[in-house]
Amino acid sequence: MARDMDEFWVFGYGSLMWNPGFAFEERLTARAFGFRRSLCVWSHVHRGTPDHPGLVLGLDRGGSCRGVAFRVSEENREDVLDYLRRRELVTNVYLEKILPVSLGDGRQVKAVGYIVDRNHVQYAGALEIEQAAEIVRVSSGQSGPNDTYVFNTLAHLKDMGIRDHWLEEVGATVATFSQAAV
Protein backbone atom coordinates (compact mmCIF):
# COMPACT_ATOMS: atom_id res chain seq x y z
CA MET A 1 0.00 0.00 0.00
CA ALA A 2 2.44 2.74 1.17
CA ARG A 3 5.15 1.22 -0.97
CA ASP A 4 3.07 1.91 -4.12
CA MET A 5 2.86 5.69 -3.61
CA ASP A 6 4.72 7.84 -6.18
CA GLU A 7 5.80 10.29 -3.49
CA PHE A 8 5.92 9.18 0.12
CA TRP A 9 4.03 11.57 2.40
CA VAL A 10 3.20 11.06 6.08
CA PHE A 11 0.33 12.87 7.81
CA GLY A 12 0.75 13.78 11.49
CA TYR A 13 -2.01 15.09 13.76
CA GLY A 14 -0.47 14.62 17.23
CA SER A 15 3.08 14.37 18.55
CA LEU A 16 4.28 13.29 15.11
CA MET A 17 3.81 16.95 14.05
CA TRP A 18 6.54 18.30 16.35
CA ASN A 19 8.44 15.10 17.06
CA PRO A 20 8.47 13.06 13.85
CA GLY A 21 11.60 11.07 14.69
CA PHE A 22 12.58 10.60 11.04
CA ALA A 23 14.32 12.54 8.28
CA PHE A 24 12.12 14.34 5.75
CA GLU A 25 12.58 16.47 2.65
CA GLU A 26 9.57 18.73 3.05
CA ARG A 27 7.20 19.69 5.86
CA LEU A 28 3.93 21.55 5.25
CA THR A 29 0.71 22.22 7.10
CA ALA A 30 -1.96 19.95 5.71
CA ARG A 31 -5.59 18.95 6.08
CA ALA A 32 -6.91 15.39 6.00
CA PHE A 33 -10.56 15.13 5.05
CA GLY A 34 -13.02 12.66 6.52
CA PHE A 35 -11.22 12.45 9.86
CA ARG A 36 -10.85 14.58 12.98
CA ARG A 37 -8.37 14.75 15.85
CA SER A 38 -9.96 13.33 19.01
CA LEU A 39 -9.09 12.16 22.51
CA CYS A 40 -10.62 8.79 21.71
CA VAL A 41 -7.93 6.25 22.65
CA TRP A 42 -7.64 4.78 26.14
CA SER A 43 -4.06 4.90 27.44
CA HIS A 44 -3.28 2.18 29.99
CA VAL A 45 0.46 2.85 30.19
CA HIS A 46 1.74 6.27 29.06
CA ARG A 47 -1.05 8.55 30.31
CA GLY A 48 -3.04 6.22 32.52
CA THR A 49 -3.11 2.79 34.16
CA PRO A 50 -5.24 -0.31 33.62
CA ASP A 51 -7.37 0.74 36.62
CA HIS A 52 -7.53 4.44 35.67
CA PRO A 53 -6.91 4.80 31.92
CA GLY A 54 -6.12 8.18 30.44
CA LEU A 55 -6.87 9.48 26.95
CA VAL A 56 -4.59 10.08 23.98
CA LEU A 57 -5.24 11.31 20.48
CA GLY A 58 -6.62 9.32 17.61
CA LEU A 59 -7.72 10.26 14.12
CA ASP A 60 -11.41 9.39 14.13
CA ARG A 61 -14.10 9.49 11.45
CA GLY A 62 -15.83 12.73 10.59
CA GLY A 63 -14.93 16.29 9.67
CA SER A 64 -11.39 17.25 8.78
CA CYS A 65 -8.12 17.62 10.64
CA ARG A 66 -5.36 20.18 10.25
CA GLY A 67 -1.95 18.72 10.85
CA VAL A 68 1.43 18.41 9.17
CA ALA A 69 2.50 16.42 6.11
CA PHE A 70 6.08 15.26 5.67
CA ARG A 71 7.54 14.26 2.31
CA VAL A 72 10.12 11.53 2.78
CA SER A 73 12.82 10.74 0.23
CA GLU A 74 12.54 7.54 -1.76
CA GLU A 75 15.78 6.27 -0.22
CA ASN A 76 14.34 6.64 3.30
CA ARG A 77 10.86 5.33 2.55
CA GLU A 78 11.33 1.80 3.90
CA ASP A 79 13.18 2.88 7.05
CA VAL A 80 10.58 5.55 7.85
CA LEU A 81 7.70 3.16 7.22
CA ASP A 82 9.29 0.56 9.51
CA TYR A 83 9.86 3.23 12.18
CA LEU A 84 6.27 4.48 11.96
CA ARG A 85 4.89 0.97 12.27
CA ARG A 86 6.97 0.33 15.40
CA ARG A 87 5.84 3.67 16.84
CA GLU A 88 2.15 3.67 15.90
CA LEU A 89 1.11 0.02 15.71
CA VAL A 90 2.26 -1.18 19.15
CA THR A 91 -1.21 -2.24 20.36
CA ASN A 92 -2.98 -2.20 16.98
CA VAL A 93 -5.43 0.50 18.13
CA TYR A 94 -4.38 2.42 15.00
CA LEU A 95 -4.80 1.31 11.40
CA GLU A 96 -2.39 2.36 8.68
CA LYS A 97 -4.27 4.04 5.84
CA ILE A 98 -3.57 6.12 2.75
CA LEU A 99 -5.38 9.43 3.25
CA PRO A 100 -6.24 12.17 0.76
CA VAL A 101 -4.48 15.28 2.05
CA SER A 102 -4.57 18.91 0.97
CA LEU A 103 -1.22 20.61 1.51
CA GLY A 104 -0.85 24.19 2.68
CA ASP A 105 0.45 25.19 -0.75
CA GLY A 106 -2.65 23.81 -2.49
CA ARG A 107 -1.26 20.49 -3.73
CA GLN A 108 -3.37 17.38 -3.24
CA VAL A 109 -1.42 14.27 -2.22
CA LYS A 110 -1.91 10.86 -0.70
CA ALA A 111 -0.28 10.38 2.70
CA VAL A 112 0.20 7.53 5.13
CA GLY A 113 -1.80 8.21 8.28
CA TYR A 114 -2.80 6.26 11.34
CA ILE A 115 -6.50 6.25 12.16
CA VAL A 116 -8.18 4.77 15.20
CA ASP A 117 -9.67 1.28 14.93
CA ARG A 118 -13.21 1.74 16.24
CA ASN A 119 -13.43 -2.00 16.96
CA HIS A 120 -10.36 -2.05 19.21
CA VAL A 121 -10.80 -2.37 22.99
CA GLN A 122 -8.82 0.87 23.46
CA TYR A 123 -11.29 2.91 21.42
CA ALA A 124 -13.01 5.25 23.89
CA GLY A 125 -15.60 6.55 21.44
CA ALA A 126 -16.85 10.09 21.06
CA LEU A 127 -16.76 11.63 24.51
CA GLU A 128 -18.41 14.84 25.62
CA ILE A 129 -16.03 17.67 26.54
CA GLU A 130 -16.77 17.34 30.26
CA GLN A 131 -16.26 13.55 30.21
CA ALA A 132 -12.92 13.81 28.42
CA ALA A 133 -11.78 16.68 30.67
CA GLU A 134 -12.50 14.78 33.88
CA ILE A 135 -10.63 11.69 32.65
CA VAL A 136 -7.68 13.83 31.54
CA ARG A 137 -7.64 15.75 34.84
CA VAL A 138 -7.32 12.68 37.08
CA SER A 139 -5.24 10.29 34.94
CA SER A 140 -1.49 9.75 34.97
CA GLY A 141 0.83 7.08 33.58
CA GLN A 142 4.49 6.25 32.93
CA SER A 143 4.92 9.28 30.65
CA GLY A 144 3.34 11.64 33.17
CA PRO A 145 -0.01 13.28 33.89
CA ASN A 146 -2.66 13.15 31.20
CA ASP A 147 -3.35 16.88 31.51
CA THR A 148 0.31 17.62 30.71
CA TYR A 149 -0.11 15.67 27.47
CA VAL A 150 -3.19 17.71 26.50
CA PHE A 151 -1.67 21.08 27.47
CA ASN A 152 1.57 20.22 25.65
CA THR A 153 -0.39 19.24 22.54
CA LEU A 154 -2.36 22.50 22.67
CA ALA A 155 0.84 24.55 23.07
CA HIS A 156 2.41 22.87 20.04
CA LEU A 157 -0.74 23.33 17.96
CA LYS A 158 -0.80 27.02 18.89
CA ASP A 159 2.89 27.42 17.97
CA MET A 160 2.11 25.90 14.58
CA GLY A 161 -0.91 28.14 14.03
CA ILE A 162 -3.34 25.22 14.18
CA ARG A 163 -6.65 25.62 16.01
CA ASP A 164 -8.56 22.65 17.38
CA HIS A 165 -11.64 24.07 19.04
CA TRP A 166 -12.79 20.79 20.64
CA LEU A 167 -9.37 20.07 22.17
CA GLU A 168 -9.10 23.70 23.31
CA GLU A 169 -12.46 23.33 25.08
CA VAL A 170 -11.26 20.13 26.75
CA GLY A 171 -8.11 21.92 27.92
CA ALA A 172 -10.07 24.89 29.26
CA THR A 173 -12.47 22.55 31.07
CA VAL A 174 -9.57 20.60 32.61
CA ALA A 175 -8.14 23.89 33.89
CA THR A 176 -11.53 24.90 35.32
CA PHE A 177 -12.04 21.50 36.98
CA SER A 178 -8.51 21.65 38.42
CA GLN A 179 -9.05 25.13 39.88
CA ALA A 180 -12.37 24.06 41.39
CA ALA A 181 -10.72 21.04 43.03
CA VAL A 182 -8.14 23.21 44.84
Strand extents, DSSP E, 17-53: 26-43
Which listed CATH number (3.40.50.11540, 3.40.309.10, 3.40.50.620, 3.10.490.10) goes with 2-181?
3.10.490.10
Whole-model pTM: value is 0.89
Per-residue pLDDT, averaged over 124-133, amounts to: 96
Instruction: Assign 163 a pLDDT band (cuts: 50, 70, 90).
Output: very high
Q: Which of 88, 96, 168, 169 is catalytic?
A: 88
Look at residues 159, 26, 168 and name the one whose alpha carbon lies nearest to residue 104.
26
Parallel/antiparallel/unpaired status of strands 94-103 and 54-72: unpaired
Task: Report CA dihedral (159, 165, 170, 172) to the nearest 10 degrees.
Answer: 70
pLDDT of residue 174: 96
Per-residue pLDDT, averaged over 51-74, amounts to: 97
Residue 136 has pLDDT above 80, yes or no: yes
Instruction: Assign 179 a pLDDT band (cuts: 50, 70, 90).
Output: confident
pLDDT of residue 6: 83
Instruction: Assign 44 a pLDDT band (cuts: 50, 70, 90).
Output: very high
Per-residue pLDDT, averaged over 51-80, amounts to: 97
Look at residues 72, 28, 74, 53 and name the one whose alpha carbon lies nearest to residue 125.
53
Instruction: Assign 128 a pLDDT band (cuts: 50, 70, 90).
Output: very high
Neighbours of 156 (CB within 10 A): 15
Q: Is 128 in the active site?
A: no
Mean pLDDT of the chain: 94
Residue 1 has pLDDT above 90, yes or no: no
